[in-house]
Every structure is written in structure tokens, then in C-alpha cells.
Amino acid sequence: MPASFNRRMAAGLNRPAGTLDVRDALKPYRGIWNERLAAHLLRRAGFGGTPYEVARFARMSQPQAVRELLHFSDTSGLPAPPDVYDPFAEDWHLGQLRGLSADQRRKFFNTIRKRSRISIVSMQRWWLNRMLVTPNPLQEKMTFLFHGHFTTAAMQKGVWPIYVWNQQQLFRSHALGNLRDLTIEVSKDPAMLLYLDNALNNKSHPNENYARELMELFTLGHGNYTEEDVRQSARAFTGWTLNRFTGSFVDNRRIHDTGLKTFLHRTGNFDGTDIVSIIYDQPACARWWASTLLNNFVYNDPEPQLIDALAAVIRQNDYNLAPVLSTVFASNVFYSDRAYRALVKSPVEYLVGTHKALALPQIVERAPVALRQMGQVLFSPPNVAGWPGGANWITSQMTISRQNFLASLVNSPMMDKSAWVDRTPMDPKPAVEMLVGQLLQGDAPSVAQTQILRYLDGSDTSALKMLNGENFQERVRGAAYLTMSLPAYQLA
């Protein structure tokens, strides 16, 4: 687990208070079902719901709602993919470079770098909009989770946007797939081969970077392997590289180490596929994924007994995600008070979720800039451990950036397109009830509701006129801003 989780974990600051009943935790939930819990489900299994989606899910039964999220429908109506610069499809020929002077080469590379950067921003916008309008939010949520888990950053180490684009398609196609298969595919994925240097791993000089992070961050967790396991498995991955002129994976047997390797107490002439299979035979691997899923979907720092219980479900289902996620989203622990608002929204969840809550039809233009200020740039995680998450999203700098994003959003012309905010009743009391209900499912202290009411009706300060037809729009948007400024709004 990334270090940042550990420090608060050691102090027990991430885990919700109260006691876990582990026998009951993963059994199907049979309690009340309402808009508040439907919104909770949509925040976790997706990026939040619009008021209409929340109402629609609340009208289903809870098992129906979970089935609906796990059933992926046709996405052919979604916005067309962006134009992603692909050097291999166009002008990427060694011959072309050979005749060039140093100056011409520099110009050539500057041009493709510029086109690449433009591509990245188009990809970010495309993905954020897809998160907003997809009929399959869980598909995008898992793609997003994998993006932070099997991290790869574009524009470093020769990782062209097209590689990251293809990697994202791989994640999306495995959103409810098998984790072992996905890990094998990731090990052969050009973006990963470049980002963690396995492209250069050869028998005369093994490069350990991928082998180590595969175990530490992707599958087992620190402490479940030895330094010798790192060295031995690095040998097994030798030769998995890519053709620099086609950009596709190749298994180069000439630089593969065919000698015997001893890895996690087994000996053989292993290759990369064998290493991944041996890893997935370890109980620690199922525990690692159980912990990852619980930390992302239920609450942080889950109890070891809860991890064990979900790890057993993962092993029973041979690492197939669909039945595992179905278990989680239908479980008692998922709908418990302890899990409710127990996670911190990542900037992407916060930004997309805000568009959802306001029922905006598309993502604002400045979203990529706002996300950078909030600390989360898609396709550019800070390092191989992905985004640290949890309390790490709550720093003074980042809370200010979130607040500034909100202010710019409620003042932007995009707000004219909100399907409901300007139709809030002109009567202040029901207006505040509606805002706090739609944006926060009522999760606001009554003192704060009173303050928002006094802002809205104009009794708060002499600087404000009483609410009237002229100032209504500005005032109701200000009240929406205030509602979304409450600390509870930072929580998923």
C-alpha cells in the first residue's frame, strides 16, 4: 500500500468508528432502501448521480439497482473518441529521421510533442464527459480505478498518448473481467513496458523496475515477497518488449533468460505469464485485491477480518470481478453507517460528481486546468503508486482549489444549462430544502442550513437585498455554492 495510507492507518484515523460484524458484513443487505442510499451507491459504483438518476435507482429494489449497475448496455451512442496522435500510423519512420539534420530532427520532435500534448487534453475532456454521460458508470469507475492502480503516465519515457489511449481501452474492456488475465495483458502492454522499463529488460542486464512494482503495488503488497523474488522474476520478464517501429508487444526470445528461476518457493524456467500465475496463487494476492476494492468502494483501512472475508470471495470466483463487485455492492457493510460518507472524493469524482449533481449536460472547458489545481491530472499520476487518496486530498492547497473551482462553476454560463437549479422554488425555505436534498442528500447540519437560508433570503447581512425576482438566480446559485462548500460534500 502506498506509504501515505500507512501513516494514518497506523493511527487508526482512516477507519470509521464502531465495530465490524464480520459474519454479517458481506451478506446481502435487506434494510431500507431510499434516495439517500441510492445516491451512496451511485457515488461509489460511479461518479454520483443526477437527481433524476438517484430517483430512478431509488424506485428500483436495491438488488435491481445493483444488477442495473453491473449490466453494461450499448455505448455506441456516446461521444466519438477524440483524435489521438498516433506516430506509428503516420510519420514514424526511421528512414525519415535518417536524412534529417540535428535541427530538423529537433523540429520534428517538437511538432510531435506538441501534437501529443494536445491529444492528452482531448483525451482528458473525452473521458470526463464519458464519465458524466455513460449509461455504464461502473465501467468507467473500474477503468479509473485501474488507471490509478496499474499506473502509467503519458509523455514520460517515450509513452506516447496513443499507448495510454490503448491502455485505457484495455482497462475498459476488463472492467468486470478477470484480474489475472488483466495483469498478464498489462505486463505486455506497451505503455507499461515503457513506463516501468521492462522494454529494456534483457538477460545480460535485467532491469528490476517492473518486477518489483508488479508485486509491491499491483498484486501482493510490500512484505509478501523477498528481494531475491524481485531479482528472479525480473529474469523471467526479460524479452517482453515492444517493437519501436510498430509500437506493439513482442516476445524477444533472443534476450530472454531461459535459465531456472526460483520464485516464491517454486523453481522452473519461468516466463512472465508463469510469474503472474504464481503470484495469483498466493493468498496475499487475493487479500491485496480485497483491500484495494474495500479501500476504493467501502471504507479506508478495512479490518483484516473483512479483507480475509472478501479475499475468500475473490478466490472462490477465481479473480472474476463481476461476482465480487456484485457481492460488495449488495452487502450489509456497504450500506452500513460506518461506510456512509466514509471516503474522500478524489478530484475527478468531485468534479464529475458536481456536474452530475447540478445535472449539467457536459463538462466545463476548464476542467483539465481545475483538476491540475486540485492535484489530479488524468493520464499523469504522480508516480507509480498512483494517487495517494484519502486524507491526502485534504490539504490546504487542494481545499482552496476545490473551492475556487466551485465558485467559477456556479458563475459560468454552463450553469444556465442546469436542469433544475434555476427552477428551485422562489420561497427560501423549500429552496434550501431542495438544494440540500439534491446536492447533499440532506447531510447538512441544521445550523448550516439556517445560515444558507439567511444568505438566500437576504437576512444574513445588510449587504444583501431581500430575495426578489431580480436577484433570485444569482442568489440561488450562491446558495448551491454554499451547500457544496460544506465539509460533507467532500465525502463520497
143-202 positions binding another protein, by CB under 8 A: 157, 197, 200-202
In the region spanning residues 8 to 37, those forming contacts with another protein, defined by CB under 8 A, are 8-18
Residue 491's DSSP bridge partners are: 344
422 binds another protein (CB under 8 A): no
CB of 291: closest distance to another protein in angstroms? 15
Return the SS3 of 242: strand
490 binds another protein (CB under 8 A): yes
470 binds another protein (CB under 8 A): no
208, 231, 232, 250, 268 from 254: Cα distances, Å: 19, 19, 18, 11, 19
In the region spanning residues 394 to 413, those forming contacts with another protein, defined by CB under 8 A, are 394-401, 403-404, 407-408, 410-411
315, 330, 363, 472, 481 from 51: Cα distances, Å: 37, 22, 17, 21, 17
Binds another protein by CB under 8 A, chosen from 344, 352, 358, 421: 344
Residue 344's DSSP bridge partners are: 491
At a CB cut-off of 8 Å and minimum separation 6, what does 78 contact?
A: 130, 133, 134
CB of 370: closest distance to another protein in angstroms? 11
CB of 416: closest distance to another protein in angstroms? 16
For residues 231 and 208, the answer to whether their CB atoms sit within 8 Å is yes
438 binds another protein (CB under 8 A): no
How many residues line the site for another protein (CB under 8 A)? Answer: 92
Return the SS3 of 419: coil
CA distance 431 to 454: 12
CB of 393: closest distance to another protein in angstroms? 9
Binds another protein by CB under 8 A, chosen from 130, 141, 341, 355: 341
Binds another protein by CB under 8 A, chosen from 22, 78, 284, 488: 488
Stretch that binds another protein, among 42-50, 99-107, 128-136, 340-348 (CB under 8 A): 340-348
State which residue, 15 or 115, has the beta carbon closest to another protein.
15
Give, rounded to a whole angstrom, the gap between the first and last alpha carbons of the chain: 21
Binds another protein by CB under 8 A, chosen from 63, 87, 323, 442: 442
State which residue, 66 or 406, has the beta carbon closest to another protein.
406
State which residue, 177 or 389, has the beta carbon closest to another protein.
389
296 binds another protein (CB under 8 A): no
H or E, element range at 266: strand 266-268
Binds another protein by CB under 8 A, chosen from 35, 216, 271, 457: 216
Say if residue 246 is exposed, middle or buried (CB neighbours under 10 Å; 0-12, 13-18, 19+). Answer: exposed
CB of 486: closest distance to another protein in angstroms? 6
For residues 310 and 290, the answer to whether their CB atoms sit within 8 Å is yes
384 binds another protein (CB under 8 A): yes
To which residue does cell 487475493 refer? 286
For residues 318 and 312, the answer to whether their CB atoms sit within 8 Å is no
Beta strands in 61-201 (DSSP E): none
463 binds another protein (CB under 8 A): yes
CA distance 395 to 322: 35
State which residue, 34 or 173, has the beta carbon closest to another protein.
34
State which residue, 315 or 477, has the beta carbon closest to another protein.
477
